[in-house]
Amino acid sequence: MASTILVNTINTQSGTTITVPAGKTLAITDAGALTVGGTPITTGSTNIQRKTADYTIVSGDITAKSHLVITANASAATRTITLPANGTSGLATCMISIMADASATSTYKLQVLDSSSTEIWTGYEKSDFVTLIETNNAWVVLDHKETLFEQRYLTAQQGVGGSGFNKMAASTSKVSIGNMWDATNNRLVIQFKCFLDVLINISTTRSNEPSATAGVKIGAIGSLTTMFETTATSSDGRVSGPAPYSNRHAVDTAGHVAEPWLKNVDSDQTVTWYSGTSATQFAMSVTRRY
- Tell me how far apart the alpha carbons of residues 127 and 100 are, in angstroms, rounded to a whole number: 5
Least confident of 2-11, 58-67, 70-79: 2-11
Number of residues that make up the chain? 290
Model confidence at 36, in pLDDT bands (50, 70, 90)?
low
Average of per-residue pLDDT across 26-35: 70
Average of per-residue pLDDT across 122-135: 98
**In the sheet that 245-251 helps form, which strands lie side by side, from edge to edge?**
171-177, 149-154, 281-288, 194-201, 245-251
pLDDT of 78 over the 70 cut: yes
3-state SS class at 82: strand
Model confidence at 200, in pLDDT bands (50, 70, 90)?
very high
Alpha-carbon distance values, 276 to 172, 182, 282 (Å): 9, 20, 12
Q: What is the pLDDT of residue 40?
A: 62
Q: What is the pLDDT of residue 76?
A: 97
Average of per-residue pLDDT across 111-132: 98
| H-type alpha helices, the chain | 59-62
Tens of pLDDT, residue by residue over 202-231, are: 999 987 777 899 999 999 999 999 999 998
Percent of the chain with pLDDT over 90: 77
